[in-house]
């Protein structure tokens, strides 16, 4: 499972799973989980460089990731734990101006989430090393200033419910990652920024860190209004 970023087939990203985040984007709180998919080609290893396409307003969303160790379909909440191999720390980067543009037009927004390097991801954390996945802190700093600092206790839908819901629609496979949503505080990352993320237990014990630098992408897609 340490090689999930190479071997996993999909990234399942849960939307609006923290009420405060939904509110800050003027979105309704969902009555059941909903998700979108990100390509595994968007993974960025720790210490890598986030490439922001020209004209794109990129927003950070730090999240706890659940790494699937045993695939399955129609997994019940009661059996969900047996399908979890461990956890990771990730940032779901969003091309916010592109997302806003296509949403207004009623079009899909896969491109806004799927750019290369738009899913920075940390190392694999075996589940046995985590006391309680619903009592962790996820945080993100930009140039040393804290932008996001939240607790997984505030998730609207807990991890077993997420696994049940996703697997009732599409089979989960070994190495897949579920991004469980982001707390409030999302905002821009611009070329030149240094981003530092941390996953800690409630008592402050460090579990994972994830650092990367942002640069302007040369070539490729260019956003136009």
Structural domains of the chain in order of their starting residue, each with its CATH number:
3-216 (3.90.850.10)
Q: What is the pLDDT of residues 163-192, one digit of tens each?
A: 999 999 999 999 999 999 999 999 999 999
Per-residue pLDDT at 225: 86
Per-residue pLDDT at 64: 98
10 Å CB burial of residue 36 (0-12, 13-18, 19+) is: middle
- Give CA–CA dist 136/202, Å, rounded: 5
* Residues near 92 by beta carbon (within 8 Å), at least 6 away in sequence: 13, 38, 61, 63, 113, 118, 119, 179, 182
Rounded to whole angstroms, the maximal C-alpha distance in the chain is 48
Beta strand residue intervals within 71-179, DSSP E: 84-91, 94-95, 119-120, 125-126, 136-142, 145-151, 177-179
Tokens of 55: 């004209």
Q: What is the pLDDT of residues 141-170, one digit of tens each?
A: 999 999 999 999 999 999 999 999 999 999
Q: Report yes or no on whether pTM surpasses 0.85.
A: yes
Per-residue pLDDT at 19: 79
pLDDT average, residue stretch 10-18: 94
Per-residue pLDDT at 26: 72
Helix, strand, coil % over all residues of the chain, rounded to 5: 25, 35, 40
pLDDT average, residue stretch 212-219: 97
**CB count in 10 Å sphere of residue 17:** 27
Per-residue pLDDT at 172: 98
Per-residue pLDDT at 22: 63
pLDDT average, residue stretch 117-135: 97
Q: What is the pLDDT of residues 73-113, one digit of tens each?
A: 999 999 999 999 999 999 999 999 999 999 999 999 999 99
Percent of the chain with pLDDT over 90: 91
pLDDT band at 39; cut points 50, 70, 90: very high
**CB count in 10 Å sphere of residue 202:** 13
> Which own/partner pairs from 208-211 qualify as long-range (CB within 8 Å, at least 24 positions apart)?
208/88, 208/89, 208/122, 208/123, 208/125, 209/46, 209/89, 209/122, 210/46, 210/89, 210/90, 210/91, 210/120, 210/121, 210/122, 211/46, 211/47
**CB count in 10 Å sphere of residue 208:** 22
């Amino acid at each position: 499972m340490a090689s999930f970023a190479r071997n996993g087939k999909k990234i399942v990203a849960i939307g609006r799973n923290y009420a405060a985040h939904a509110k800050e984007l003027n979105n309704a709180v969902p009555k059941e989980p909903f998700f979108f998919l990100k390509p595994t080609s968007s993974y960025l290893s720790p210490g890598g460089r986030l490439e922001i396409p020209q004209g794109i307003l990129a927003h950070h969303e730090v999240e706890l990731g659940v790494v699937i160790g045993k695939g399955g379909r129609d997994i019940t909440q009661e059996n969900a734990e047996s399908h979890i191999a461990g956890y990771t720390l990730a940032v779901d980067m969003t091309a916010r101006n592109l997302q806003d543009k296509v949403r207004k037009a009623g079009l899909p927004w896969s491109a806004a989430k799927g750019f290369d390097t738009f899913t920075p991801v940390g190392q694999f954390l075996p589940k046995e090393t985590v006391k309680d996945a619903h009592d962790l802190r996820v945080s993100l700093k930009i140039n040393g200033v804290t932008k996001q600092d939240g607790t997984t206790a505030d998730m609207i839908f807990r991890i077993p419910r997420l696994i049940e819901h996703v697997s009732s629609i599409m089979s989960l496979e070994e190495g897949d990652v579920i991004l469980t949503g982001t707390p409030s505080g999302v905002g821009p990352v611009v070329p030149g920024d240094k981003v530092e993320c941390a996953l800690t237990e409630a008592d402050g014990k460090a579990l994972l860190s994830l650092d990367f630098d942002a640069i302007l992408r040369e070539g490729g897609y260019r956003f136009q209004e």
